[in-house]
Amino acid sequence: MNPDLPKEKIGAGKSGRSFSPGLADSVRYLKGVGPRLGEKLGQKEIFTLADLLLYLPYRYEDRRELKKISRLKPGEKAVTSGKVVASGKSGFRRRPTFSVVIDDGTGALTLKWFRLPGNYLEEKLQKGRMVVASSVARSYDGGLELHHPELEILNEGEDLDSWSFGRIVPVYSLPEGFSQKSFRSLVARAIESCAEQLPELTPREMSAKNNWPLAREAVRNIHFPRADADLKELEEHRTVWHRALYYEEFFVLELALALSRREMVEAPAYLVRAGDRPIQQLRELLGFSLTPAQERVIREISGDLARRRPMHRLLQGDVGSGKTVVALFSALRAISSGLQVAIMAPSEVLAEQHWLVLHRWLDRLGIESGLLTSAIRGDERRQILERTASAQISLLVGTQALIQEKVEFARLGLAIIDEQHRFGVRDRLLLKSKGAASRAPTVGGTGRTPHILVMTATPIPRSLAMTAYGDLDISLLDQMPPGRKPAQTRLLSGKDEKKAWSEIKKRCNLGEQAFVVYPLVEESAKLELQDATRKFEELSAAVFPEFKLGLLHGRLAPEEKERVMEKFRAGQIQVLIATTVIEVGIDVPNATVMVVEHAERFGLSQLHQLRGRVARSAKEAVCFLIAHPPLTDSAKERLQVMTETTDGFKISETDLRLRGPGEFFGTAQSGLPPFRFADLIRDLKELALARNDAFAFADTVDLNRPDLAPLKKELLQKYGKLMHLARVG
């Protein structure tokens, strides 16, 4: 009998009797985990036994067979074991090579560590110790060596344990205070104690349809795979056990999206029944004919608007594909049906831009529009608010402050959100919760929800279209207006920037215009970034004395920005030095050359947006990306992709892969909680499957079915508040 046992049990359990902890219990109740180790586990967010069970290994090691030393072959990855018979250091004192010789009775093998700091291993690998080592065997001086092997050092008197040897073993990202071996046996104990209690979230009909194993079986098998498991699938985290968990996780999200969507489209909306006359008028005003893609998307939107259910549609179209015109047609339908339209842009500059473009058309159609930014104050602001509340203004342009502040509309029929990737799910859902509710009273209690059109120039990868945008219908503007040439892209290093300047000179002498873009406004000595302000002065004085230069950055007052933009648009400024405020929406077809300084600092989608600013006419445009080494691998890949393709989808897929879904949206997060297991890129198949299943399921199944209780609970816990799932509970 182990004399320590009673003490441990008192420390661990609630009584001296045998106590089997459950899923929700603290890991401290596990035998051998005291407060100290409990705290270490907490650093990895492992608090309960459920957390521990769901803490999956990140890789595996094939230890089904321990090779005898005599049977090792050079070049082969092998797991072998033996007793330490000798050890020693050689080479430089501060960075020595440490060698250990082990023997298993069939032969001897040298383990080597080069430039080994500290003497941790030296202390651990004393003579007589049993070790298991794994690495690629190399032949050296007639013998075999393992360099920097993975080690498992057995404590005195310890046997090889069956969780760690003679099987495919899991390898975890370890909390402090644990070895792979001790952590493995901890997981094994948690599995024995309560894997049975893991809730099954996937409805049984969906498990049956897709042949999924139970979640508890999946968890068991992911930690301790069967001997006949497929190693490659394991390494890729794509066994059926893994995939079942991904599916489950996606299913919960997709069900939430399906329910959220159902609630949205069940709300009453204004019926838009506009005659075709104003539309015809607008067509005549345009001076160009719409692309077939524009025609198609306008039809899709008109179809939505003619229903009594609110539209929730995402319009994707690359920079320059003509989204504004589509927005204008949609707005016109709503307006000529007696409704109001709000257009929201992600920044004040862009809101101003939109308004400038739109109100020219609207004025000619006799439609009153207004602009509301923070620069508009006092009397003017009051008037705009009043005229909006009384429906004199039919179209109001602004930033998202339009939804966040209490701007009252008399009859808000359509909300258009531009450049959605800056908004995130959360902001969009604000429209769902507040859109109708906060304004309905002023409409005389109609309680109607506005139709919503979201526009984005960042092509949304399929995985995000099914998640972060999963509650929206999608329209695609997959065609550019005729005569557009994609910009040529050239990569330059900092010392070659003269080439870019001379191209600018050439272009400006032909009457064309140029952008020079910088990443930051203020000088940051640390990052050694070139400051746009300083550069503006330098370029004006030394490089382009013959041209008129302008400076545009985020710190300028809005009127000042507008003045600069107007001059650039009118051709009074030839070279515009700017920070990324020009990233989206700036439309000056005569600008045909762009220089992006410190291109390595920009995100991929951002670069794509920027470049789009100079591919807006039939003129041959060129974009110089100036990179200043040293470049990270990711920066190299970004720049490489930019020179290889102008395909927005390709670019955003790469961007998503490089940055991950959270970052992809820029500072505004996607707004969705992260996945525990699934990976949007790797597990796209399960995502698509879960989406189809969940949307079908939502239409037919009563969530109050007793066996669905765990699913319902998880759904509400994770997404209830975010998605305002009012009617699930």
DSSP annotation string for 440-501 = GGGGTS--PBPEEEEEESSPPPHHHHTTTTTTSEEEEE--PPTT--PPEEEEEEGGGHHHHH
Per-residue x/- track, 539-578, Mg ion (CB under 5 A): ----------------------------------------
Of 204 and 364, which has the nearer Cβ to ligand ADP?
Answer: 364
Member of 63, 223, 312, 323 binding ligand ADP (CB under 6 A): 323
Among 48, 294, 330, 369, binds ligand ADP (CB under 6 A): 294
Neighbours of 316 (CB within 10 A): 25
Give the C-alpha separation, 469 to 659, whole Å: 18
- Exactly one of 193, 291, 420, 654 binds ligand ADP (CB under 6 A); which one? 291
- Of 68-76, 104-112, 273-281, 580-588, the window that binds Mg ion (rule: CB under 5 A) is 580-588
Residue 309, H or E segment: none
Contact by Cβ (8 Å): 462, 684:
yes
Q: Collect all residues with Cβ–Cβ distance below 8 Å to 499 and sequence separation of at least 6.
A: 492, 624
* Structure tokens belonging to residue 675: 């996945």
Tokens of 106: 């069939």
Q: Which is nearer to Mg ion, 235 or 566 (CB)?
A: 566
Tell me: does residue 648 bind ligand ADP (CB under 6 A): no
Spacing of C-alpha 319 from chain mean position: 20
Phi, psi of 159, rounded to the nearest 5 degrees: -100, 160
Q: Which is nearer to Mg ion, 188 or 326 (CB)?
A: 326
Looking at the Cβ atoms of 170 and 317, the one nearer to ligand ADP is: 317
Residues, the chain, total? 729
Residue owning tokens 């003579």: 127
241 φ, ψ (degrees, to nearest 5) = -65, -45
Piece of 286-294, 429-437, 582-590, 613-621 that binds Mg ion (CB under 5 A): 582-590
Least distance from Mg ion to the Cβ atom of residue 613, Å: 11
- Of 315, 319, 349, 317, the closest CA to residue 616 belongs to 319
Nearer to ligand ADP, 325 or 331 (CB): 325
Q: Which stretch binds ligand ADP (CB under 6 A): 183-191, 226-234, 283-291, 306-314?
A: 283-291
* Alpha-carbon dihedral 236, 241, 243, 246, rounded to 10 degrees: -110
Q: 146 vs 351, which CB is nearer to ligand ADP?
A: 351
The three-class DSSP label of residue 439 is: coil
Among 170, 317, 435, 486, interactor with ligand ADP by CB under 6 A: 317
Residue 481 C-beta: closest distance to ligand ADP, Å: 3
Which range binds ligand ADP by CB under 6 A, 13-21, 95-103, 249-257, 316-324? 316-324
Which residues from 119-148 bind Mg ion, rule CB under 5 A?
Answer: none
User: Does 324 engage in binding with ligand ADP (CB under 6 A)?
Assistant: yes
Interface with ligand ADP, residue 609, by CB under 6 A: no
Helix axes 277-286, 348-364, angle to 10 degrees: 110
The DSSP call for residue 530 is: P
CB of residue 321 to ligand ADP, shortest distance in Å: 4
| Shortest spacing between CB 394 and ligand ADP, in angstroms | 20
In this chain, which of 408, 538, 587, 620 binds ligand ADP, going by CB under 6 A?
Answer: 587
Query: What's the min distance (Å) between Cβ of 577 and ligand ADP?
Result: 22
The option from Mg ion, ligand ADP, none interacting with 362 (CB < 5 to 8 A, set by class) reads none
Burial (Cβ within 10 Å: 0-12, 13-18, ≥19) of residue 553: buried
Structure tokens at 27: 């890991």
Could you tell me if residue 697 is left (phi over 0), alpha (psi between -120 and 50 degrees) or otherwise beta?
alpha
Residue 413 binds: one of ligand ADP, Mg ion, none (C-beta under 5 to 8 A by kind): none
Closest of 437, 432, 430, 397 to residue 416, by C-alpha: 397
CB of 465 to ligand ADP, least distance (A): 18
Under the criterion CB under 6 A, does residue 135 sit at the interface with ligand ADP?
no
With a CB cutoff of 8 Å and minimum separation 6, the contacts of 514 are 504, 507, 508, 574, 575, 576, 591, 592, 593, 594, 595
Q: Is 279 in the site for ligand ADP (CB under 6 A)?
A: no
> Please, which residue, 414 or 508, has the CB nearer to Mg ion?
414
Q: How far apart, in whole angstroms, are the C-alpha atoms of residue 49 and residue 29?
A: 9
**310 forms part of the interface with ligand ADP (CB under 6 A):** no
Residue 435 or 585: the one with the smaller Cβ distance to Mg ion is 585
Report what 651 binds from Mg ion, ligand ADP, none; CB cut-off 5-8 Å by kind. none
Which residues ranging from 453 to 472 are in contact with ligand ADP (CB under 6 A)?
A: 457
Contact status: 175 vs ligand ADP (CB under 6 A): no
Q: Which residue is nearest to Mg ion (CB)?
A: 585
* Binding footprint of Mg ion on the chain (CB under 5 A): 585
Q: By CB under 6 A, name the binding residues for ligand ADP.
A: 288, 290-291, 294, 317, 319-325, 457, 481, 587, 616
